[in-house]
């Protein structure tokens, strides 16, 4: 073979190699990637608190049903996990990422509420740690075990994400935490708050006392709008967030979806959104208008949130819901007045 041919062949090979840009293959546990959403890992968010902020979008095939904010609290001998994620497969990937934070065993799991995108991944943790305690509000335990909420969410997530293999049989929470209750696990102290109705009727807001971190569950979303189901109350959610603003003094606030931050930057955008809905809903109610008649006007007042995921889709539904709540509250007030008048 002539020298020139050999050189050009060699050069050809080299260019092909350079152009192919072979991905560097990392050990499975070091990389959790989800298509266009990029890669995810736990990052130190406060003292001994590590959070993985999931994609800020609705459930879909590409995010594989992962879009919440799993958290790990590291104690001396073990770990406590909050809301491990939305299905068994995601749970296994989260577990691998937890091991990058620490190889200590998982001692307890806390779930913020009944929606499957937060707790279905309990399954992966129970598979590895069969004796792990899983805490939730008693209403959540009842809703998912007895009232069909787990099945409802299995349906929602299999339609939208199709990544539910292995999630059944469900790994339900096993231990109850009621409003105001405190627990200690491996020197880590938690106190929970349960609003009667806010994002749902099963919510726990969890304070990790050691680090002063407040996990808000889906009572706050940042960068996306979710839905308000039949067990929720927008007016209740507003009342709760105003109380949290007044009465808490954490150093880090963690929403159910979207980035964590200080109190105002985390809570205000969502709280103000709900307040605009309630004020405009009240006006429309008093003017005898339907929500669809005022929706475009209200949307203009919220235009600064137009880039939030599912904003257009969900805003109109939320306005309609708050108007129904306002109507119901007025009816209740009327009934109470009548009763008082009867007594006189």
List C-alpha distances in Å: 149 to 70, 120, 229. 21, 12, 11
DSSP label at residue 27: P
Instruction: Give the footprint of Zn ion on residues 27-86 (CB under 5 A).
Output: none
| 220 membership: H or E segment, kind and range | strand 213-221
Instruction: Give the footprint of Zn ion on residues 264-293 (CB under 5 A).
Output: none
Q: How far is the CB of 156 from Zn ion (least distance, A)?
A: 11
> For the chain, how many residues are written?
344
Specify the residue, 164 or 204, whose C-beta has the smaller distance to Zn ion.
204
Specify the residue, 201 or 218, whose C-beta has the smaller distance to Zn ion.
218
Strands 182-185 vs 188-193: parallel, antiparallel or unpaired:
antiparallel
Q: How far is the CB of 28 from Zn ion (least distance, A)?
A: 29
Q: For residues 32 and 289, what is the distance between their CA atoms, to the nearest angstrom?
A: 49
Q: How far is the CB of 24 from Zn ion (least distance, A)?
A: 37
Taken in order 311, 316, 317, 321, is the CA torsion positive or negative? positive
Here's the x/- map for Zn ion, 102-131, by CB under 5 A: it reads as -------------x----------------
Q: How far is the CB of 108 from Zn ion (least distance, A)?
A: 21
Question: Which of 225, 216, 223, 200 is closest to 317 using CA atoms?
Answer: 225
Specify the residue, 129 or 308, whose C-beta has the smaller distance to Zn ion.
308
What are 170's two structure tokens? Answer: 């469900």
Q: How far is the CB of 157 from Zn ion (least distance, A)?
A: 12
Residue with tokens 């009327």: 334
Specify the residue, 181 or 227, whose C-beta has the smaller distance to Zn ion.
227
Contacts with Zn ion: how many residues (CB under 5 A)?
2
Specify the residue, 53 or 115, whose C-beta has the smaller distance to Zn ion.
115
Here's the x/- map for Zn ion, 185-224, by CB under 5 A: it reads as ---------------------------------x------
Specify the residue, 115 or 123, whose C-beta has the smaller distance to Zn ion.
115
Q: How far is the CB of 216 from Zn ion (least distance, A)?
A: 11
Q: For residues 135 and 112, what is the distance between their CA atoms, to the nearest angstrom?
A: 9
Burial class (CB in 10 A: 0-12, 13-18, 19+), 334: exposed
Specify the residue, 203 or 325, whose C-beta has the smaller distance to Zn ion.
203
Q: How far is the CB of 112 from Zn ion (least distance, A)?
A: 8
Q: Looking at the DSSP assignment, which residues form a beta bridge with residue 82? A: 71, 110
The answer to whether 72 and 81 have CB atoms below 8 angstroms apart is yes
State the residues that interact with Zn ion by CB under 5 A. Answer: 115, 218
């Amino acid at each position: 073979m002539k020298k020139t041919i050999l050189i050009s062949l060699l050069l050809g090979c080299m260019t092909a190699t350079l152009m192919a840009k072979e991905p560097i293959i990392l050990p499975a546990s070091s990389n959790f990637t989800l298509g266009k959403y990029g890669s995810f890992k736990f990052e130190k968010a406060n003292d001994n608190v590590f959070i993985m902020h999931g994609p800020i979008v609705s459930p879909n095939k590409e995010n594989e049903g992962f879009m919440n904010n799993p958290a790990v609290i590291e104690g001396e001998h073990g770990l406590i996990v909050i809301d491990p994620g939305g299905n068994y497969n995601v749970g296994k990937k989260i577990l691998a990422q937890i091991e990058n934070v620490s190889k200590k065993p998982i001692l307890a799991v806390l779930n913020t509420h009944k929606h499957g995108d937060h707790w279905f991944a309990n399954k992966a943790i129970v598979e590895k740690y069969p004796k792990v305690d899983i805490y939730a509000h008693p209403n959540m335990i009842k809703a998912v075990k007895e009232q069909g909420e787990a099945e409802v969410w299995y349906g929602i997530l299999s339609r939208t994400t199709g990544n539910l293999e292995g999630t059944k049989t469900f790994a339900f929470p096993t231990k109850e935490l009621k409003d105001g209750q405190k627990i200690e696990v491996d020197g880590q102290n938690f106190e929970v708050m349960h609003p009667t109705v806010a994002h749902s009727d099963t919510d726990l807001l969890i304070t990790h006392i050691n680090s002063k971190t407040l996990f808000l569950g889906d009572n706050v979303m940042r960068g996306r709008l979710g839905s308000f189901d039949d067990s929720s109350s927008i007016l209740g959610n507003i009342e709760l967030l105003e109380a949290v603003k007044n009465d808490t003094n954490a150093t880090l606030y963690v929403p159910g979806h979207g980035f964590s931050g200080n109190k105002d930057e985390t809570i205000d955008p969502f709280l103000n959104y709900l307040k605009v809905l309630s004020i405009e809903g009240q006006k429309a109610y008093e003017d005898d208008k339907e929500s669809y008649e005022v929706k475009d006007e209200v949307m203009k007042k919220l235009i600064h949130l137009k880039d939030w995921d599912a904003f257009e889709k969900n805003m109109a539904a939320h306005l309609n819901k708050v108007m129904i709540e306002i109507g119901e509250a007025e009816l209740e007030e009327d009934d109470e007045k009548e009763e008082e008048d009867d007594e006189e």
